[in-house]
């Protein structure tokens, strides 16, 4: 009798603790969402009156009514396109090698540990590395190429880890079936494994590039200019980016520039939300085509 009572008491205590933990997690989630909504609403109130097509098409200026984000917006587009060009083939290729080709050895474990550690390194550390390697050692100067290569260092470990998780999610039965039909390892990876893991890989890539789009610290260290009166036209041109321009406006004492910064944040949020929406669409569209 006492044993049954003890079991009942433990179960009841477990249900109470489980309910309290669920409530605490729910309150934490609601608190974060409310704080985020308050911040976004405050930004909308400050920046909506300054947001216009002229604001997007105008060059930076020391006069708030004439200032715009054209050079910063195009600089961000240059950065994100070059970062994708450099990081996606390297990241996905490294993930394919580690998951499909590399033998299970201590060397592989060491590489995997270093990649996981690099994913948690603060971005400003990559900025210092980019300054020493790309700007000075390789003499790329403070160009859009240096900025894109630095952002590539930031997102590359994340793309590798996300791609590895997507490749691990593909059942081994697909690989064994391809081998049973006489396919080589390369044919199995290219025609079976990669298409099956494409939704997860694309989602990780787009979310990583979204992070790169919002980075300011590594670009500041590399030397992104706060005022650039022209749109970059080649890899060696100087550049600025949306986070840099927003940071510059918020550091000024005039209230009008703070409203301009809020308008710039709204533009950046629209771009980021659009990229995240593309990630969701890709996962939904290509995920329906894959059944195992």
Nearest to 228 by CA among 245, 240, 216, 237: 240
How far is residue 52's CA from residue 24's CA, in Å, rounded to a whole number? 42
Give the pLDDT of residue 78: 92
Give 10-45 pLDDT, tens digit per residue.
777 878 888 899 999 999 999 999 999 999 999 999
* Segment 61-80 mean pLDDT: 88
The CA distances from residue 159 to 83, 87, 111, 148, 153, in Å, are 12, 8, 15, 15, 10
- Dihedral through CA 285, CA 286, CA 288, CA 292, nearest 10? -170
Give the pLDDT of residue 5: 58
Give the pLDDT of residue 67: 86
H or E element in which residue 81 lies? helix 70-96
Give 74-102 pLDDT, tens digit per residue.
999 999 999 999 999 999 999 999 998 98
Burial of 192 (C-beta count, 10 Å sphere; 0-12/13-18/19+):
middle
Residues 6+ apart with CB under 8 A from 144: 75, 78, 79, 82, 232, 235, 236, 237, 238, 239
Largest CA distance in the chain: 84
* Segment 250-271 mean pLDDT: 89
How far is residue 195's CA from residue 199's CA, in Å, rounded to a whole number? 8
pTM over 0.75: yes
Report which of residues 106 and 275 the model is more confident about: 106
* Segment 249-262 mean pLDDT: 88
Give 163-208 pLDDT, tens digit per residue.
999 999 888 888 898 888 888 889 999 988 998 888 889 888 888 9
The CA distances from residue 242 to 2, 70, 155, 247, in Å, are 68, 9, 18, 9
| Band of residue 286 on the pLDDT scale cut at 50, 70, 90 | low
Give 95-149 pLDDT, tens digit per residue.
999 998 988 888 888 999 999 998 888 888 999 999 999 988 988 888 899 999 9
Give one DSSP letter per residue of 149-178, joined into a string: HHHHHHHHHHHHHHHHHHHHTS-HHHHHHH
């Amino acid at each position: 009798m006492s044993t049954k009572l003890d079991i009942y008491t433990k179960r009841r205590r477990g249900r109470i603790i489980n309910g309290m933990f669920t409530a605490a997690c729910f309150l934490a989630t609601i608190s974060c969402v409310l704080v985020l909504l308050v911040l976004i609403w405050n930004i909308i109130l400050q920046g909506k009156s300054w947001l216009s097509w002229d604001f997007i098409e105008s060059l930076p200026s020391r006069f708030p009514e004439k200032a715009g984000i054209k050079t910063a917006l195009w600089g961000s587009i240059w950065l994100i396109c070059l970062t994708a060009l450099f990081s996606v083939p390297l990241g996905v290729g490294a993930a394919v090698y580690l998951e499909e080709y590399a033998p299970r050895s201590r060397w592989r474990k060491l590489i995997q540990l270093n990649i996981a550690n690099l994913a948690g390194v603060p971005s400003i550390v990559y900025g210092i590395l980019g300054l020493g390697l790309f700007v000075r050692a390789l003499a790329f100067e403070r160009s859009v190429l240096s900025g894109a290569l630095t952002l590539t260092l930031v997102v590359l470990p994340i793309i590798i880890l996300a791609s590895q998780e997507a490749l691990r999610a593909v059942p081994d039965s697909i690989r064994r079936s391809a081998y049973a039909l006489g396919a080589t390892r390369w044919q199995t990876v290219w025609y079976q494994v990669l298409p099956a893991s494409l939704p997860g890989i694309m989602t990780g890539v787009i979310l990583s590039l979204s992070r790169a789009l919002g980075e300011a610290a590594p670009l500041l260290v590399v030397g992104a200019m706060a005022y650039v009166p022209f749109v970059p036209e080649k890899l060696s041109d100087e550049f600025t980016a949306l986070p840099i321009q927003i940071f510059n406006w918020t550091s000024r004492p005039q209230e009008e520039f703070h409203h301009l910064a809020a308008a710039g944040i709204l533009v950046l949020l629209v771009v980021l939300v659009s990229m995240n929406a593309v990630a969701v669409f890709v996962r939904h569209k290509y995920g329906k085509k894959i059944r195992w």
